[in-house]
Structure 1
């Protein structure tokens, strides 16, 4: 999706409207910079729009999290801090662009950096749905957060009834010889670890870390998902939006309608539930049931997906990764200078994967 211009009237409160006017002016300054021959990727323009569309998303979806307008006001504070009365306003616009680049880098890296296959467990477990001892051991282990992605996958598979949470299709390694549709699954994270830039991110890093309790493999951050859907999830091709008044129920929203024609048959509405057998065993053992994916993490992740597309950030990353993969060396005639410039603007870039 091409980068979408910021609207003139977003419908904010007075504080937000004042900040929005600054963003509109910064966007106007970034336009000629992005039309320059050395700015093939429109980095500066996308950076401003990342901030603007996040601000609007936090305002429009305030009821989707337990934080109200916290992130909205934190972002206003970050943007406003770029401007000082003793400096030209253009300097403030330049700082806003740098702020937008920082947010774009952090958010895309945090949500896209953990896309590889789930490691195979050290123990050779086949058909775990028929292995009562393994299930019992896994449930006992749910007293603490998983220590690894491999352990998280096993716990999530048990919690989710050995099904992809999005399609409802059973996991290939868990069904034995039953004559039913199956799929290969992965352990999908809503968020991976944040980088070192912890003083920024309009408080987002603090919110996510508090929800995770410092444990990225916490089951509240994990979904069992088929290989194909996991990849599309990491590419922001679809996201989940909570259904009002229906606990743990989400509508799937996709960038393209063709997403719903995938072979893994994603449903348009999903309800997350702990497997009934697991609930019974937890009750028998006097244990709390394992947590389902956290609604606040899902809401924040969905905001990232929406903003990544409407701002043009997702398209920019895809294009950069494609061009980087096709360019083995930098050309002496300067033709690859835009690529090098953008890669430097988006450093550290090596943690963003396809």
Structure 2
């Protein structure tokens, strides 16, 4: 459940920068709660204020905490503080596949909510566990480790490393149980004396999901994705643009074998891994105790055949994102919008989209901080309300002669960009 920021936990004498930055966050939260500033009205501003405060508290490294504190201190207006918080919320959403349909796009004091074409977390893939022998050969492992990674190869490696079991529950992977007689026989012998052992479908769970790289596909500008990676690097010292770019997102250090239900909870930032002093040993935590009923902490992430365990830095950053998202109310706020869209197909007026685009746009590239034209058309098809939508055409973009477009009350999920039809941007009214 969302919680108010606690009193300043930083000593003003020994941690003056952190103390001062956190005090700024407390003032921001108080002003947002009181609605004493025109930029700070409504739930969204309270959430953003808390995001900044919890970023300082839950930074996974001391350097990350110092960086966030410096950035907060550098914001000389409330608008800049809000924009900074939005960028980090966008990073949390990209860590969460369930929340990914809502891309929180930071621009000059504007909040954009865009429903993507992505569906829910994918179902288990066909089984890639490799040769049905007593052991996967060294040659097979070498091939998987050295070849460019993809989902199938990562799943095969993770299954082998994780002993074909969910790393949290220890439940055996269903397809392995069916296809591997040797593994099944070993499991059945153990299950004879342990009634709690189970067989369950598993997924290859990514700590940082593939959607981090989707914005780069097709050769489009990726300035916003780069901004998010830069924010993550400052906060958690994970250089994702280098470590997880393209197929590297499937690197074995970024994946784990996980039961289907827990995978969904992990993707939704409902569970996270809290490190213990022992290497590769964690306590699994959750926002609700029932999600982890029966899980016995601590758990030890396995290593096998010199296959690396999940990177502790990735898990620590994921844990920070999960706690900040829920304590600040960001996860709950975005989920409420998700539920509303699922139920009605229309965004309510209190989360309406109001956008002014004041730079030239063309069909292939967008200026940093703004959405492509197609995104606004998509908003219309979702039933969003756009109070004012301006396009200043760029040369050769097919929008010559269009100086301004206005669209309001896009109800019923229809393509309401009627004025855009000549440019091919919207559906029929």
Could you say whether these structures have the same fold, taking a TM-score greater than 0.5 normalized by the shorter chain as the test? yes
For the pair 1:299 / 2:310, whether they are aligned, the reply is no
Deviations 1:80-118 (A, max 9, x none): 2211xxxxxxxx122111211221122222332496226
Normalising to structure 2: TM-score of the pair? 0.64
For the pair 1:267 / 2:296, whether they are aligned, the reply is yes
User: Whose radius of gyration is greater, 1 or 2?
Assistant: 2
Instruction: Choose the corresponding residue for 2:82, options 73, 80, 97.
Output: 97
CA–CA separation in structure 2 for the residues paired with 1:247 and 1:326: 45
CA–CA separation in structure 2 for the residues paired with 1:273 and 1:144: 20
CA–CA separation in structure 1 for the residues paired with 2:204 and 2:331: 22
Q: Pick which of 22-31 and 46-55 moved more.
A: 22-31
CA–CA separation in structure 2 for the residues paired with 1:274 and 1:11: 38
Q: Which runs of 5+ in 2 are unaligned?
A: 101-117, 192-197, 214-224, 357-368, 379-429
Residue pair 2:273, 2:315 contacting (<8 A) in 1 also:
yes
Determine the structure 2 residue equivalent to 1:69: 62
- Number of equivalences: 307
Instruction: Choose the corresponding residue for 1:18, options 20, 28, 31.
Output: 20
Give the drift of 1:227.
Answer: 0.3
Normalising to structure 1: TM-score of the pair? 0.76
Q: Report the secondary structure of 2:145's partner residue.
A: coil
Q: For the aligned residues, what is the CA RMSD?
A: 3.4
Residue pair 1:163, 1:170 contacting (<8 A) in 2 also:
yes
Distance 1:202 1:51, change over 3 A: farther
CA–CA separation in structure 1 for the residues paired with 2:157 and 2:329: 36
Determine the structure 1 residue equivalent to 2:112: none
CA–CA separation in structure 2 for the residues paired with 1:308 and 1:78: 19
Residue pair 2:265, 2:271 contacting (<8 A) in 1 also:
yes
Q: Pick which of 190-199 and 294-303 moved more.
A: 190-199
CA–CA separation in structure 2 for the residues paired with 1:146 and 1:168: 29
Equivalent residue runs for 1:156-175 within 5 Å: 156-175=158-177
Distance 1:71 1:272, change over 3 A: same
Residue pair 1:135, 1:158 contacting (<8 A) in 2 also:
no
Determine the structure 2 residue equivalent to 1:319: 336
Residue pair 1:128, 1:135 contacting (<8 A) in 2 also:
no
Determine the structure 1 residue equivalent to 2:326: 309
CA–CA separation in structure 1 for the residues paired with 2:133 and 2:37: 61
Q: Higher relative contact order by CA 8 Å / sep ≥ 6: 1 or 2?
A: 1
Give the drift of 1:34.
Answer: 10
For the pair 1:117 / 2:122, whether they are aligned, the reply is yes
